[in-house]
Amino acid sequence: MTIAQQALQSAVRRRMARAVVIRDAKAYEALYGQLQGAMSNAWSDAMREGIAGALDRLRDLGPGKFTDQDGKMILRVLEGSVGAEAISAAMREPVINLTDALYRVGAEEVGKATGVSIAFMRPDLDALDILKSGNLYWIGNSWNVNTQNLMAQALEDYFTEGMTREELTARFAKDFGTLAERGQRYWEILADHTATKTREMGRVSGYERAGIARVQVRAHLDERTTRICRHMHGRIIDVPRLREQRDEYLEAVSRRNEPAAKAAWTMHGGDADLSNTPTSKLDRGTAGPPYHFRCRTITVAYFGSGDSDIDRWTRAAYDREPLGRKDIGTVIDRAKGARWPHTKVVRGHYRKHGGRLGRNTQADYSQAAVDLIRRGDRDVYLSMRQGVLNATFVRAKTITLASGKTRQGFEVTAVDMTENKITSHHWRAKIETTGDEVPAQKQPGRGIMKWLTQYWA
Ligand SMILES: [Zn+2]
């Protein structure tokens, strides 16, 4: 086949692969699995070959003491099978093809969600080209330094222990088998990281081509969600900011500059605490996911206009940005008009919470909920609960339990700001509650009631 025919054939194959990708809703999962499998298999094959080759050499050397020279020779043999070049060559085809497919899946997901057919332009294709060779390079290189050190260390130990070649042969197969298994876990993490990052970069192309201005961070919320993603969840990021991050990263990758690539796209520890960092104050390397290794967070298109008060406050809550005094004054003023949705609702809440708060009648309880909003000595918190902006009015309150013991905590009134209705009035030990997808953020609300009263008096 001529080069032109080969090129044509591979173009046709790519087109067909793309058609499959678009139809398959589980495309990402499937591609990710393929990448993991391909990397994992290439690694085991290479490692098996490397171990077998090194053992053959040891046998060829015959009996005697294991020397420093022997160690160097074994490293050379292993390098031939699992060194950067060998690993890159073994993984080349799946990594290049799957990078392409994952990037397109990211873009297509945006296209499907927005009903726009995504046509790649020059910058998208350029980014994809850099990414393909970059992914391949990191995959070969990042493991290599680490493995080489481990291998050299193991061989050094054998040498120091003063082993014979026979003793070494027995230990070698076992120790390097363990190294091969540790490698498997490493490839899993790297495949995961490569897949999620590539897909997110494809999404950036998708957002740009679909004319999306902002995206929202969406974490997979369950008991495994990391602290950092719990606090990144819901934030709204401008697409140009994502593009900037992607470009900086790819620029570093194209120069094979690892420190610059790491700085462009920070991998945090899962426990990193960004709870009090507003989106506008996030460091440059923190924009799009993944935010850490094994991150399941993605982005989705955000369509909030920012025109209405509620829209602006909602966005501020998602971004962990405290409102200004003027806005919080308006929030409080609006919440002052909030009512219980129905007497039945009040009765239910009164029966559950009234006793603890020391309210002996339903009327008392109902009024106390409203009064707490108006007091000057309460704090105001904003949170998001199932996509609804929630204002919580909070005052410290110590209660006495049936046993006579006292407990410190808080008296709260929760208000659904969209419908301006009171959703609860109760005592709780902590301000945070598990029902909030964006945890309560303290606002500059204390004393604002007084200020408003003076202002309008
Ligand atoms: Zn995460």
- Does one domain contain both 188 and 217? no
Chain segment 159-212, per-residue pLDDT in tens:
888 888 888 888 888 888 888 888 888 889 999 999 999 999 999 999 999 999
In the block, tokens 């659904």 appear at 416
Ligand 1 center from residue 268 Cα (angstroms) = 9
Q: Which residues contact 289 (CB under 8 A, 6 or more apart)?
A: 196, 200, 217, 229, 232, 295, 297, 298, 299
Ligand 1 center from residue 200 Cα (angstroms) = 13
Ligand 1 center from residue 271 Cα (angstroms) = 10
Q: Which residues contact 25 (CB under 8 A, 6 or more apart)?
A: none
Ligand 1 center from residue 85 Cα (angstroms) = 32
State the chain's mean pLDDT as an integer.
88
Give the phi and the psi of residue 131 in degrees, each rounded to 5: -65, -40
Ligand 1 center from residue 377 Cα (angstroms) = 38
- Does one domain contain both 217 and 196? no
Ligand 1 center from residue 151 Cα (angstroms) = 32
- Does one domain contain both 207 and 69? yes
Ligand 1 center from residue 228 Cα (angstroms) = 7
- Residue 447: pLDDT band (50, 70, 90) is low
Ligand 1 center from residue 264 Cα (angstroms) = 17
- Does one domain contain both 207 and 219? no
Ligand 1 center from residue 227 Cα (angstroms) = 8
| Pairing between β-strand 438-442 and β-strand 298-302 as defined by DSSP bridges | unpaired
- Does one domain contain both 405 and 262? no
Please determine, for residue 450, whether its predicted confidence score (pLDDT) is greater than 50: no
In the block, tokens 């193991």 appear at 154
End position of a domain, from candidates 211, 238, 256: 211
Integer Cα distance of 416 and 318 in angstroms:
15
224 contacts 294 by C-beta, under 8 angstroms = no
- Does one domain contain both 419 and 429? yes
Chain segment 356-375, per-residue pLDDT in tens:
899 999 999 999 999 999 98
Ligand 1 center from residue 334 Cα (angstroms) = 36
**Residue 329 domain flag:** no
Identify the pLDDT of residue 161. 85
**Residue 309 domain flag:** no
Ligand 1 center from residue 300 Cα (angstroms) = 15
Residue 367's domain comprises: 334-456
Integer Cα distance of 428 and 52 in angstroms:
65
Integer Cα distance of 329 and 50 in angstroms:
70
- Does one domain contain both 194 and 237? no
Ligand 1 center from residue 273 Cα (angstroms) = 12
Nearest residue to 81 via CA among 20, 138, 160, 151? 151
- Does one domain contain both 17 and 152? yes
Ligand 1 center from residue 221 Cα (angstroms) = 10
- Does one domain contain both 12 and 111? yes
Integer Cα distance of 325 and 355 in angstroms:
35
Please report how the helices 68-82 and 122-160 are oriented relative to each other, as an axis angle in degrees rounded to 10. Answer: 160
Ligand 1 center from residue 293 Cα (angstroms) = 7
- Name the β-bridge partners of 302: 214
Ligand 1 center from residue 235 Cα (angstroms) = 13
Ligand 1 center from residue 295 Cα (angstroms) = 3
Ligand 1 center from residue 281 Cα (angstroms) = 19
**Residue 66 domain flag:** yes
**Residue 381 domain flag:** yes
**Residue 327 domain flag:** no
- Does one domain contain both 242 and 374? no
- Does one domain contain both 65 and 192? yes
Tally the C-alpha atoms within 13 A of residue 75's C-alpha that lie toward its C-beta: 18
Please determine, for residue 20, whether its predicted confidence score (pLDDT) is greater than 60: no
- The DSSP code sequence of 269-324 is -TT---TT--GGGS-TT-SSSP-STT---EEEEE---S-SHHHHHHHHHHTTPPPP
> What average pLDDT does range 286-307 have in this prediction?
91
Chain segment 203-255, per-residue pLDDT in tens:
999 999 999 999 999 999 999 999 999 999 999 999 999 999 999 999 999 99
Ligand 1 center from residue 292 Cα (angstroms) = 6
In the numeric block, which tokens belong to residue 385?
Answer: 């609960």
Ligand 1 center from residue 18 Cα (angstroms) = 28
Identify the pLDDT of residue 336. 93
Ligand 1 center from residue 291 Cα (angstroms) = 6
- Does one domain contain both 188 and 135? yes
The secondary element (H helix, E strand) that includes residue 257 is none
Measured CA to CA in angstroms, residue 226 lies from 275, 433, 439 at distances of: 12, 17, 14
**Residue 328 domain flag:** no
Please determine, for residue 22, whether its predicted confidence score (pLDDT) is greater than 50: no
Residue 49 burial (10 A CB sphere; 0-12, 13-18, 19+)? middle
The residue type at 338: A
**Residue 408 domain flag:** yes
Beta-sheet strands, E only, within 81-201: none
Ligand 1 center from residue 341 Cα (angstroms) = 37
Ligand 1 center from residue 91 Cα (angstroms) = 27
> What average pLDDT does range 333-356 have in this prediction?
92
Identify the pLDDT of residue 454. 44
Ligand 1 center from residue 265 Cα (angstroms) = 14
Ligand 1 center from residue 112 Cα (angstroms) = 24
**Domain count across the chain:** 3
Ligand 1 center from residue 287 Cα (angstroms) = 13
